[in-house]
Structure 1
């Protein structure tokens, strides 16, 4: 079957052009007018094909949004971005000729003939010259979707590691930490700051039936850590005790704990047997010291001397040395690094294989866009070279020739770039409700950061667009330079040119 398929593809490729030529010349006809892109009208067959593609894309997107990326909809996940890109390309091809006609009129009133000539030539190309827009937009959409998936996976792993550790590094013990450990760890290269925390995991409400983790912190240092990590930011002064020392201690609570205890003061029995009266003053979804849905954070100054002894250190810094931290911590406390926690999420064939697939999709999309643009520009190269040769005989300077070729290419590249960025963003927004990246991003089924959502990545949208614009300008400048180097005589032979 493989040999038969290869033979069939070869036969179609070899016979397509001769058969088309024979069909076009089966009857003698008077030469008709040139079908310019700015004046051609779409046929009924093309309209029906476009409406069919629109219906397929709408069906794929709606099914994916309702059912999600289940095993039965794997084909939809892979085909929906391409279908949306094809539909956007068809819309752009429809809008391209009217836009050229609209720009040609005001360009004719500008000083100089280069701009008007470039737009006029862009509108007088054949209808097939706008077909690379289809390839460019489809490639842009594929690259943007794949890049957004990879960015979403990386972001989900970063957030999961941050939620699990609470900082760049965490040194924790079941009991109080050794004295002087904070000073020793502060001297480790890469450590910028640390926050001491005393965590009582078995603190209970006054009735003794409900336990809730209570973290005692220094408000200013802990507020700075929360601001750096983005986990429940607050002002340090809001957690500090005000008024009489026998009054309730302000506390930062999770929404679950805040709903349970309300805003009235309540008593909590710590693990050492002491009691402390708290009043919930702040509510945050996350906090660095404790992971989970239930926690209380209070000022250590309001706790007893035994309960205020630090049991954990949250360290911030760049390129922390895990071996040096473990040597300074000794054999008792456990040392957990955010970078090591993140590396744990990439330990299965599913994660690595999915990343390779989407990386290949991004590379293929970018390569396909570049190839489509280069083939389109290479097909028009002989005609452009002849045009430059003729215009040089009428006084066109080399700089004007370069500007003419660049401006002639931009009416095709700029709509493709703008449409590609908009389509890539729209595809991600349309498909994100039906795609869960948690399984791809994390090795386990559960994530401390919750569900990993698909979000549009600005770099995945901007880099292909900038690459196409740079490639378009570079090809135009290079072609003008090469044509000027060859000279005008070979291009002015009788019978050559359009």
Structure 2
């Protein structure tokens, strides 16, 4: 074995490099999937915020029927702190909790209005407060002024005065200082006096302790639903000491015990999603909640939106998974084929040696064992090296999957040469026979095997297609989806290998009557397809299909994002105000860098049509300018003359453009519309479009702005078109009068999830790796035929063939196979895209949501991705053949036709 390895160090090193690189890619795949999956889950949790991801356990109001002494005991500090540790430990590893950000305490469930006149009142309405006696205030805040509140040990429902702290934001916005006294209304007694002893600043304001209930750190303004004047008032929080809970019983705030359980985001893993979802469900209404009730209270309830957050992530992952799996399985198939081809080439190069060993009495088992040992000595360490490199390069959590992937690569590399040798040397021969179809017709066993594979592949493809149609375009959940390129490539490879020699032989006969020898000879040789041509062709077709599919996916995602951003903004930029914009703003915006045109629009979001019970958004536009905008954006284009007031039919009614829903509701008859300002116009629908740039949604009306009353026609929005308008210049021009949105910024928002970006990078890497393996398969194919071609050129040169004719012969001989692979690749790629397009929805991948402003993003064929890889195969094949002819010409015929050459 040592002698053999030393005699062919180049082949051993090449095999080691191939196995190491393949093992690295195979091991890195599950690690990379885990990595971007975990990052995506954590990002989803961060975007949702602690308010949605924290699990709240609290006692119900059924406890209010208990005697006063028992209620006071339940609201004391120990009653909430006692079961806290047991509740934290309930979910274990299924739902890891962050003990530092979790908390417990007592809180009022109703806001209490505090009438003290010195408190801030935006519209003359007194502020309202939550009273919260929470644990851990000292550790999660730092004092800005005063001291932390304290409570005596004998606090009861009859206590009339307590201390409290407030956050810095609450103190600033509600005019509170250290020493301020608030009088919280009580029930059937004097108000509860709350003295502010300290002002605190949160140490980590975005963490769960403060952000699960944001009002603890930041007050907000709100209005009463029943107030027609919409007067605003502040809502804030008073932070009481943990021992002051019983004092809340004297108020009308309906106090309760609570436990805030914050998930440990850093310990969450995407592959644990099923168990995580189950644990959340159990904690909401299942065994975990029952165990928590046993520890805390029989009336315990749970509330969280964590299950919704996990569901949104699961839907995003489910939409991205099949698309990434297509690239992974396609590239994996090409890599496996290349490993088999490399092993077959190694065995074929030693065909004479192995035939001699068999002639001298070597058994098939001994021959296979020898080749297996020789290959394993090289492949196993190389695979281990690739695994180690993957582990260092791509840290991941599930190492066994990476080990299994690298082990599969080593196994395939080890068994390929022995299996090829066993297949070729089952019978003892002195000389190896030719294996092209001119002398070695395919056996019946091979025919039956190919027909069986063909039938299985066709059946799988038909099943995939029919399931996708039957499910209404939801085949992305079918397990056959990742194998679609391989199945289509297998069908094409089996058919093309069988059929392509027939037209070449037909062309060889008329070509034989030509004067030159190069054309007929090249056609005759190209028509003799070698019996082992299925594997290389399968590798090329699968790689081309995967590359074209990947290009179509990436192009479709980019197009869907661009379209969604355009629909969301309505133009390249949008300047919009709550009220009418200043009259000179349009001129300022038009002078900003990058702005080509500005379209002014008057928008009335709450207009009432006909009977005044249903609202419909109305926009007044300039027909000529707005029609040009619709053509530029490709959203709801129409003819400007159809909307002009001068062409209004029906006795002065304004012609209107409407959405299908509005058109179905009101028809073509004139009907009145009352605008936001109370003024009315009469409109008549003459044009129907699915979408329009200025108004999103399924209901809208567009009318000529010149037909509106003068006060209503003042623009409230400016739609800007141009080549990358300057965002800073637009915001400077708008000042505080309007809000500025840019299409490019909206486009960037659609790529916020690491799950999206990670999947795209992984897909791009998989397609690139597949292309590299396809090139390697092409090189191995040509390398296998290189000795025979070199000997042929040498013989022909001794008969007078020139070097130019030799180069032309090799190029013409390889051109049919290259065209076959290129044409078959285009055909199979197109077929795979058409097959999968009903079941692949790119919307979630494009915009990280189940719905897009531009509608469903379907998979479409990308012509560039179809043609460019195929042309690259042709160019590479021709280039390699020309290089081989040039190299053989340099060596000369004497060195090729050496003594003992059997060819």
- Is the pair's TM-score, using the shorter chain for normalization, greater than 0.5? yes
Shift of the 124–204 alpha-carbon distance from structure 1 to 2, 3 Å rule, reads same
Please give the per-residue CA displacement for 1:437-475, whole angstroms capped at 9, x wherever unaligned.
Answer: 222222223211222211111121112111111111211
1:232 aligned onto 2:636: yes
Distance 2:777 2:498 in 1: 19
Shift of the 17–415 alpha-carbon distance from structure 1 to 2, 3 Å rule, reads closer
Structure 2 residue corresponding to 1:400, chosen from 782, 791, 805: 805
The alpha-carbon deviation at position 395 of structure 1 amounts to 3.4
Task: Say how many residue pairs are matched.
Answer: 495
Three-state SS of the structure 2 residue aligned to 1:242 is helix
Shift of the 19–302 alpha-carbon distance from structure 1 to 2, 3 Å rule, reads same
Structure 2 residue corresponding to 1:15, chosen from 418, 429, 445: 418
2:677 alignment counterpart: 272
Three-state SS of the structure 2 residue aligned to 1:282 is strand
Please give the per-residue CA displacement for 1:236-284, whole angstroms capped at 9, x wherever unaligned.
Answer: 2221122589612211111111111111222212222222221211111
1:162 alignment counterpart: 566
Distance 1:203 1:70 in 2: 43
Contact 2:508 2:520 in 1 (8 A): yes
Distance 1:243 1:482 in 2: 78
Q: Which has the higher contact order (CA 8 A, sep 6+)?
A: 1
Contact 2:476 2:840 in 1 (8 A): no
Distance 1:57 1:241 in 2: 57
Distance 1:46 1:404 in 2: 32
Distance 2:432 2:591 in 1: 86
1:476 aligned onto 2:881: yes
1:354 aligned onto 2:759: yes
The alpha-carbon deviation at position 37 of structure 1 amounts to 6.2
Three-state SS of the structure 1 residue aligned to 2:426 is helix
The alpha-carbon deviation at position 125 of structure 1 amounts to 4.6
349-358 or 446-455: bigger deviation: 349-358
381-390 or 323-332: bigger deviation: 381-390
Structure 2 residue corresponding to 1:200, chosen from 596, 599, 604: 604
224-233 or 438-447: bigger deviation: 438-447
The alpha-carbon deviation at position 194 of structure 1 amounts to 1.4
2:829 alignment counterpart: 424
Contact 2:493 2:534 in 1 (8 A): no
Contact 1:37 1:97 in 2 (8 A): no
Please give the per-residue CA displacement for 1:193-248, whole angstroms capped at 9, x wherever unaligned.
Answer: 11111111112113211221111111111111111111111122221122589612
Contact 1:226 1:233 in 2 (8 A): yes
2:584 alignment counterpart: 180
Three-state SS of the structure 2 residue aligned to 1:233 is coil
Structure 1 residue corresponding to 2:622, chosen from 198, 201, 218: 218
2:785 alignment counterpart: 380
2:656 alignment counterpart: 251
2:494 alignment counterpart: 90
2:437 alignment counterpart: 36
Distance 1:37 1:322 in 2: 70
Alignment of 1:252-331 (within 5 A): 252-331=657-736
1:128 aligned onto 2:532: yes
Contact 2:526 2:813 in 1 (8 A): yes
Distance 1:5 1:212 in 2: 62
Alignment of 1:39-54 (within 5 A): 40-41=441-442, 43-54=447-458
Distance 1:237 1:492 in 2: 83
The alpha-carbon deviation at position 11 of structure 1 amounts to 4.7
Contact 2:465 2:835 in 1 (8 A): yes
2:25 alignment counterpart: none
Distance 2:412 2:781 in 1: 23
Distance 1:82 1:64 in 2: 18
Contact 1:61 1:80 in 2 (8 A): no
The alpha-carbon deviation at position 149 of structure 1 amounts to 1.6
Contact 1:37 1:130 in 2 (8 A): no
346-355 or 103-112: bigger deviation: 103-112
Distance 2:603 2:739 in 1: 15
What 5-or-longer segments of structure 2 have no aligned partner? 1-402
The structure number with the bigger radius of gyration is 2
Question: Under a length normalisation based on structure 2, what TM-score does the superposition of the two structures give?
Answer: 0.52
Distance 2:667 2:794 in 1: 83
Please give the per-residue CA displacement for 1:145-196, whole angstroms capped at 9, x wherever unaligned.
Answer: 2221222211211111111101111110111111211111111111111111
